[in-house]
Amino acid sequence: MRDIFNVGLLLSTIRLATPLILAALGGLFSERSGVINIALEGKMLAGAFTAAAVTYAADEKLHLGNASPWVGLLAAILAGLFIAYIYAVACIRFKADQVVSGAAINILMFGVPGFLSGAFFLSSGSTPQLPKEHLIPWTPIVIAFGMVAVSWYVMYRTPFGLRLRAVGEKPEAADAAGVSVNRIRYSGVLIAGVLAGIGGAYLSIGQSSLYSRNMTAGRGFIALAALIFGKWRPVQTMLACLLFGFTEALSIQMQGAVKLPSGEDIPVQFIQMVPYVLTIIVLAGFIGSSRPPKALGIPYQKEK
Amino acid sequence: MKNLLKELLFPLIAVLAAFVVGGILILLVGDNPIVAYRLLLGSALSWPDGIGYTLFHATPLIFTGLAVLVGFRCGLFNIGAEGQLYVAAFATAWVGITFANLPAILLVPMCCLAAILVGAFWGAIPGVLKAKFGSHEVINTIMLNFIAIALVSYFTQYHYKVPGDPILESAPIGWGAHIARLGKFVPGLPQRIPLNLAFLLALFCCLLVYLFLWRTKWGYEIRSTGSNPLAAEYGGISIKKQIVIAMAVSGALAGMVGINDVMGYRYRYYDGFSDQYGFTGIAVALLGRNHPVGVILAAILFAVLQHGGIYVDGFSEHVTKDIVQVLQGIIILFVAAEEFFKYMSGRLRIKNPGKV
């Protein structure tokens, strides 16, 4: 048992927590402004696919060499922004149901990467392999942990953060005080797009070297779970992401290495369940209470 | 009649708009949208294969569409149909394996009951959590999907797999648990097409859901809770009870997907068998305007796309079957943003004041 808990486990925890932190912080900005974000998964998929496809194109077609992953990262950010913009227009401008539109974005993004890779790479849903020197394995980790501090500062020490929180709790009051509710919500949702896009990019051009079909494998939802587990606060959310990253790292390391006294493998499925079970328990208020922003999910209708 | 046309008009516009956007995407990747759409839609019309497979694919979508519908009518968003159908399908197989020697007259109802009850149980969990602790059913159903999928995958892998089988699937269910394929009764429909009695059950469930929601006291109370919870509470309806009932009924309907897949198609539990049925059910319910008849029509539309997707994959150069998911996503987005069409039609009116 002891040889499992080593530096490797720690590093792997950090690596696995990174995309979760990025996406969850994105979700934080969106949800604190009052817009539910079950579309994190779709935004991550958009980021992951775009990053890999553009990095490949920049490398092969434009011969940008070492600059190509950065072009890929930038493209992933734009892709996340684009998806977030569609989502924002639907939910804020046209007051569509946020959960329904989020589900639509997710379904759409299950399809789009496969559709595009089929068209451009003649493959069934994956992009070509990228050379190892054209990956960015470390930068997104730095961005992720840096963003925790930045998010905390923005959220609690700037006028924007104050407005964002006000809009998510009591939009009428914020509106009366002269804050444009919709503009703040647009910002929140778009920030989520950027961060989830980076989180997705890390999966394809940081952790691995290509985009493969449905690469996020539910990480957008685990990020959402971490956000709730972290009670919609930046530092707690990071801790939740680390915990969930740790459970994933543990389940990978334990595969085949640790046996039950009876000689059987420890089923990884039970470790995989941990984040989800914890989230349900926390949301029900068994371990402290996790209260969502008051106006979460309610489109704002200005009084006439 | 006029009302019916009005109800049909908006979904039709949403579908057409989605096809236009999809067509532009197909053009952009260098294929001919008309050719692609002909493959996508045309292949469903052939007899017996096209129609048989389309109705087979429509069966689970009718169940999950109804499941989402019942939730919506109570003001609840059941994203958990995917998890509910997995646990239910596994339970169906478990009964079919454990009591494999029983005759069909006992085993068929037992297996069906397992699907319904276990689906209802898994659906009721987020209902109880919402009623008791006020925690949001959307989050809980998402979490329960992952828990369900991990749980049944564990049971399949560690306890119910045939040793040595490289595929993650359970042992076969007993003969007594098989239900007939429709090819047995319909002349010209070969039995290799897996369209089975579960399709008729799905249609029957549409009728039952209609009668339940619009002709019983329970249904009335569920709809009141959905349309105006405060007024319902004033009227003496226990909202908490309705939430649990609606989620249980919803889960039971989703669970019946297990009857189609386990008892009518594969005759075993196959891990990961659901082709996103639970999520497509959301699209089906929304496009079907949360009405059982609409659900049938929408389920058939999505089944046509699903079946046609295989042909698109095989016969077109650039377009893959992923176009189906893309179209689905765009359709829901359009249906969700109903305001968008009102806005557009408002703008058109202002531009052409003489015509309107």
pLDDT in tens, B260-309: 999 999 999 999 999 889 999 998 999 999 999 999 999 999 999 999 98
| Nearest CA-CA distance, residue A160 and chain B, Å | 28
Contact: A269, B157; criterion CB under 8 Å:
yes
Residue B2 confidence (pLDDT): 67
Residue B225 confidence (pLDDT): 93
Beta-ladder partners of B170: B161
| Nearest CA-CA distance, residue A241 and chain B, Å | 15
Residue of B nearest to A107 (CA): B329
Residues of B with Cβ-Cβ distance to A272 under 8 angstroms: 146, 150
Interface check for A146 against chain B (CB to CB < 8 A): the answer is: no
Residue A251 confidence (pLDDT): 82
The conformation of residue B156, written as its DSSP 8-state character, comes to I
Rounded Cα distance between B83 and B71, Å, is: 15
Positions of chain A with pLDDT lower than 70, given as ranges: 1-4, 256-264, 287-290, 303-304
Biggest alpha carbon distance in chain A?
70
Residue A263 confidence (pLDDT): 66
Residue B338 confidence (pLDDT): 75
Residue B354 confidence (pLDDT): 43
Interface check for A86 against chain B (CB to CB < 8 A): the answer is: yes
Residue from B130, B150, B154, B151 nearest B140 by CA? B130
Residue from A187, A296, A237 nearest A24 by CA? A237
Contact: A99, B77; criterion CB under 8 Å:
yes
Distances (CA, A) of B248 to B40, B120, B121, B144: 36, 4, 6, 14
Nearest CB to B337 within list A90, A218, A267: A90
Nearest CB to B146 within list A218, A264, A283: A218
Rounded Cα distance between B234 and A200, Å, is: 48
Contact: A284, B323; criterion CB under 8 Å:
no
Contact: A283, B136; criterion CB under 8 Å:
yes
Contact: A95, B276; criterion CB under 8 Å:
no
Residue B353 confidence (pLDDT): 45
Residues of B with Cβ-Cβ distance to A125 under 8 angstroms: 320, 322
Interface check for A92 against chain B (CB to CB < 8 A): the answer is: no
Contact: B144, A110; criterion CB under 8 Å:
no
Contact: A116, B29; criterion CB under 8 Å:
yes
Residues of B with Cβ-Cβ distance to A225 under 8 angstroms: 139, 143
Residue B142 confidence (pLDDT): 92
Distances (CA, A) of B102 to B92, B105, B177, B180: 14, 8, 9, 17
Rounded Cα distance between A91 and A299, Å, is: 7
Q: For residues B152 and A296, is the Cβ–Cβ distance under 8 A?
A: no
pLDDT in tens, A185-239: 999 999 999 999 999 999 999 999 999 988 998 899 999 989 988 989 999 999 9
Tell me what percent of chain A is helix, strand and coil, each rounded to the nearest 5. Answer: 70, 0, 30
| Nearest CA-CA distance, residue B64 and chain A, Å | 15
Q: Which two tokens stand for residue A136?
A: 């960015």
- ipTM for the predicted complex comes to 0.88
Distances (CA, A) of B25 to B29, B319, B323: 6, 10, 9
| Nearest CA-CA distance, residue B351 and chain A, Å | 20
Residue B1 confidence (pLDDT): 59
Contact: B332, A94; criterion CB under 8 Å:
no
Residues of B with Cβ-Cβ distance to A284 under 8 angstroms: 129, 132-133, 135
Mean pLDDT by 10 residues, chain B (356 residues): 75 92 91 90 88 96 98 94 98 97 96 98 97 90 95 92 90 96 94 96 98 95 92 91 96 98 96 92 92 96 92 83 91 82 67 44
Interface check for A124 against chain B (CB to CB < 8 A): the answer is: yes
Nearest CB to A118 within list B150, B153, B318: B318
Terminal-to-terminal C-alpha distance of chain B: 23
Residues of B with Cβ-Cβ distance to A106 under 8 angstroms: 279, 329
Rounded Cα distance between B351 and B253, Å, is: 47
The conformation of residue B44, written as its DSSP 8-state character, comes to G
B169 phi/psi in degrees, rounded to 5: -145, 160
Nearest CB to B333 within list A99, A104, A110: A104
Contact: A277, B147; criterion CB under 8 Å:
yes
| Nearest CA-CA distance, residue A231 and chain B, Å | 13
Contacting A residues, span 220-239, partner chain B, CB-CB under 8 Å: 221, 224-225, 228
